[in-house]
Structure 1
């Protein structure tokens, strides 16, 4: 028996998971047909999301009670704040979005709902509760990237001439896939330490399952938010 809780969590909300990783936003992005204003709105809101995502990983360091867990959380916070945020700003500039403009935006309700839910799971629960709520984003984007990569051969994803190719390459790439695998490994270790090697036999299984499913549905809500974009300023306009 393995303590890899992720396959069990995903299977327990299979319909929600499929709605997330194969959402219309994802499929149109892969096809290169996603409206530009939807992608720009997504990028702007994702900047705000990353701020709170960093806060959630900082909370993980507080919730951790072992040095290896703390090191992983702190390293992730450092990578998010000092690397990924900079890459996001640089990439968004190519779409006419400045960091100042994105930082000044109000958070969309779907963004607030998702980020605060994750933080609440962390504050009200332990490290495992928090990591399970973070898993749909970290591991889900890796699955989406892998699906897009596989879609080259089947025609489900168009790479040549796709305006979103750089985004696709980032999440399909080896570096991000390794990040997601590392987080999955962390969740496995944390689950083993806190609930043993059979996650579904634990008295906490129901709560963890429901927390994962809720976070997955909030990811769906984030895509839906992106498909109803609001006007955004362009750099230099």
Structure 2
């Protein structure tokens, strides 16, 4: 049986394929990615993940469905305990200081991605906003699984890959896909269209995020 998330995956397939072969991802795998670009990515991703976690809690506050609420609150906590904890270790090991964090401007793409999530929540509601979160889970899993086949010779990059190739991460992906399908099942056709649009837009921003980090994007 074809699930709604299969439809979403197909709709964003061309964007995901471009993410898979983006120079940032490919050089992370080969070990050729300059550390300056990885540091820039980490600083921008720190901002994004903090906001991403907040969106889980914001959606949870808006829903009356207990199952949805529990998943989102657990997801926010898991982000703190897993991905964000890994990032904090990277920051310590790479000597990224609180001053550097404070003095690093939010890049245009990171700013736009978070605004997209915010606008989706305010304008379109719970279903589309949950769909807008899915690419960050699912695309990273697919990239992690693909890169795990060969790994990376750089320990930081290998740890990044391992984060998204683990069983615990796969469990979280399955949960948000199940929630998305459940929300789609109880939504109208127009609501499902909004969910798909939100998913594709997030997939676009995921692709642009690699480019932002690779070019170390600045405000012009």
Secondary structure, aligned partner of 1:227:
helix
Give yes or no for contact 1:128–1:187 (8 Å, CA) kept in 2: yes
Instruction: Tell me the residue number matched to 1:214.
Output: 201
Where does residue 185 of structure 1 map in the other structure?
Answer: 178
Supply the distance in 2 between the matched residues of 1:54 and 1:15 (Cα, whole angstroms): 27
| Matching residue of 1:175 | 168
Structure 2 residue aligned with 1:16: 15
Matching of residue 86 in structure 1 with residue 82 in structure 2? no
Summarize deviations over 1:17-45 as a string: whole Å, max 9, x none. 21123322111111111111110100011
Determine if the alignment matches structure 1 residue 53 to structure 2 residue 52: yes
Structure 2 distance, partners of 1:115, 1:59, is: 13
Paired with 2:9 and 2:194, the residues of 1 have a C-alpha distance of 14
Matches within 5 A, 1:195-210: 195=188, 202-210=189-197
Larger Cα Rg: Structure 1 or Structure 2?
1
What residue number does 1:227 align with? 214
**Are the aligned partners of 1:129 and 1:211 in contact in 2 as well (CA < 8 Å)?**
yes
Unaligned runs of 5+ in 1: 153-157, 196-201, 232-237
- Unaligned runs of 5+ residues in structure 2 are none
The match for 1:198 is none
Higher helix share: 2
Residue 133 (structure 1) aligns with:
132
Please report the TM-score for the alignment, with normalisation by the length of structure 2.
0.90
Structure 1 distance, partners of 2:82, 2:194, is: 33
Name 1:155's counterpart in structure 2: none
Query: For residues 85-118 of structure 1, what are the alpha-carbon distances to aligned partners after superposition, in whole Å with 9 as ceiling and x for unaligned?
Result: 3332122221221345324422100000001101
Aligned residue pair count: 218
Q: Is the 8 A contact 1:38 1:229 kept in 2?
A: yes
